[in-house]
A and B are shown apart, each in its own frame.
Chain A
């Protein structure tokens, strides 16, 4: 049986948006409890082998220490942590790919999932939200997510029926390492990365969105309140921002509404290339990530080559149809 991967980001849900907005705090004891419930659910559904990121705060390690583990269940910690940064998640993803994990539980926000996908693009994920702007991960009960992990690891559910491959934005930055975004890539007029969160509407230049969700917060909602684009659509959305344009009133982060000047918005077919250049700062999935120098070229392209995401509801309905949790005494 293939292993289940476990990744919990100790840094998610703690940034400046607790101050500038009204974002929830995800303390690490809560993340520990989520892991515990997920592992219990996964074992109940038949998972036997877990490989986990040895995060710098010991979230998974401590969670496992508090579970009565039945005989025959194997837990393996990956080496690390090396950097106490997002690179730990990237490294864990690379190792989970080598170990061919059937499915990985990721606890974090959009940024955590982006880091994981940087390390393993073709992964199969169940992502639970413990972040701030959470478009990619879902809010769901961890016990149920765990049940789905176990079902997938045992191979009892046909993947085609419950998993969909997501869109992704590949970004080439002249003379530097490329990067990716799972939800949105934004070019800003900022000059530094700082506290990472995008908080200044006047600094927005243009955004390229895989998903423009009106029922979410962050950059995705700016697009979503103009021209919604779902994960299922075979196109993305390109939005330019302009102080001379119409004003959009939208939640840039939890509990924070801003008036934003919007220029043009246009649907962009998958595979089409967008070009731009610095100076500025590129933000991916809601966080400032890369400083781009004056004249430095940027090329972006969206494709449906992202990770596969398990639909929890569909997965558990399949299990019910197949009576996988019904046992004869």
Chain B
């Protein structure tokens, strides 16, 4: 375990969470204003998970993400300008405007793709882990998925094979209590997804997903275990999304109460971490304000970049559809 966590690690964790929060808040507004086409599944509330896990990965390590993937991309090193451009459907986006919110990928950052298919990520990450082990590359692959995805056959098959071959893979279940609009108690009999780990032959751990340091410590142990060749781990991070399944405040559905949302906000990962950083003398209020100012400036720059970028042309329509072989 970490013997002494540096100030830089602590401030980076905070910065990452703030970058995710502010990006998502602005993206939500732009969607509601009709500037961003299509639907966004926003990550507000779950920032501690992506930030705490990604702190232990390098650019060679791979991740697979979900339909709620912006936070993972930002924490893995994604920049605002190509992200906003992708959301706007512009040619300067990470996927040249053809992927949109749910399919951002970037091989240079090890982002094997967000994925609109619930449970689509685990087999991809497991396959990458198989390759990593086969090539003895020391890379680790991490797959993020939700409580709903943990019911899919694709998750079970990936977990089984990862454990069988002791692959360098970390399964991170972001249990936000709902599969879309269905409460966990209405879609699975177990209350802790981590309990399923024993059935595959891997360790399972429950983590407070609203505490970035709890996620950081657990992810450190899981990534270290994977990288050392000891095999996969299932980390279940109990978290909560403040916004609706889609958009900011959705269609007035009654699947959860305002009181429930407010109760989770009382445990907000960013606010509680900021209180800790100030109490321990790591940050001051002025330094915190500077972080927000810097992030907001980046966001405005990203939005301006996206809005001034061109759309892909008709000639680009069939480009990047099929892989036709590596160029020599």
Measuring CB to CB, which residues of chain A are less than 8 angstroms from any residue of chain B?
A: 10-11, 14-16, 18-20, 25, 27-29, 56-58, 83-84, 191-196, 199-200, 202, 279, 291, 293-294
Contact = CB atoms under 8 A, between A and B. Distances in A.
B213 A194 contact: yes
Interface string B22-57: 000000000000000000000000000000000000
B206 A14 contact: yes
Given A25-B204, A27-B195, A57-B191, 13 more contacts: A10-B191, A14-B194, A15-B205, A16-B207, A16-B221, A18-B203, A19-B205, A25-B198, A28-B191, A192-B280, A193-B214, A199-B217, A279-B281
Contact of B192 (A27, A279, A294): A27
Contacts of A11: 206
Contacts of B191: 10, 28, 56-58
A260 to B, nearest CB: 13
Given A16-B205, A20-B221, A28 B214 contact: no
Nearest to A199: B1
Nearest to B263: A83
B327 interface: no
Chain A contact residues: helix, strand, loop or mixed: loop
- How large, as a class, is the contact surface on chain B? 35 or more
Given A25-B195, A192-B213, A195-B217, A18 B282 contact: no
Contacts of A196: 214
Taking each of A14, A19, A193, which has the highest tally of chain B beta carbons within 10 Å of its own beta carbon? A19
A194 B225 CA distance: 19
Interface of B: 1-5, 10, 185, 190-192, 194-195, 197-198, 203-207, 211, 213-214, 216-218, 221-222, 225, 233, 238, 263, 276, 279-282
Given A14-B204, A194-B217, A57 B192 contact: yes
A199 B5 CA distance: 13
Nearest to A57: B191
A20 B206 contact: no
Given A10-B192, A57-B191, A83-B263, A195 B207 contact: yes
A19 B203 contact: yes
A291 B279 contact: yes
Nearest to A23: B203
Given A18-B205, A195-B214, A200-B1, A291 B198 contact: no
A285 to B, nearest CB: 18
Nearest to A17: B205
Nearest to A195: B217
Given A58-B191, A196-B214, A14 B205 contact: yes
Contacts of A28: 190-192, 195
A27 B276 contact: no
Contacts of B3: 200, 202
Contact of B204 (A18, A20, A195, A200): A18
A127 B86 CA distance: 56
Contacts of B263: 83
The 3 closest A-B pairs by CB, nearest first: A194-B213, A57-B191, A195-B217
A56 B217 CA distance: 25
Nearest to B233: A19
B206 A15 contact: yes
Contacts of B1: 20, 199-200
Nearest to A296: B279
Nearest to A279: B280
B254 to A, nearest CB: 21
A196 B207 CA distance: 10
Nearest to B213: A194
Contact of B213 (A19, A25, A193): A193
Nearest to B221: A19
Nearest to B222: A19
Contacts of A191: 5, 10, 276, 280, 282
Contacts of B197: 25
Given A27-B195, A27-B198, A29-B195, A19 B279 contact: no
A194 B192 contact: no
Contacts of B211: 193-194
A293 B204 contact: no
Contacts of B194: 14
Nearest to A20: B221
B112 to A, nearest CB: 24
A291 B218 contact: no
Given A16-B218, A27-B198, A199-B1, A294 B206 contact: no
12 contacts: A14-B192, A14-B195, A25-B195, A25-B197, A28-B192, A28-B195, A29-B190, A194-B214, A194-B216, A195-B207, A279-B280, A291-B279
Contacts of A200: 1-3
A200 to B, nearest CB: 6
A193 B217 CA distance: 10
A140 B233 CA distance: 30
Taking each of A28, A193, A293, which has the highest tally of chain B beta carbons within 10 Å of its own beta carbon? A193
Contacts of B204: 14, 18, 25
A181 to B, nearest CB: 21
B213 to A, nearest CB: 4
A277 to B, nearest CB: 14
Contacts of A193: 211, 213-214
Nearest to A22: B203
A109 to B, nearest CB: 14
Nearest to B198: A25
A81 to B, nearest CB: 11
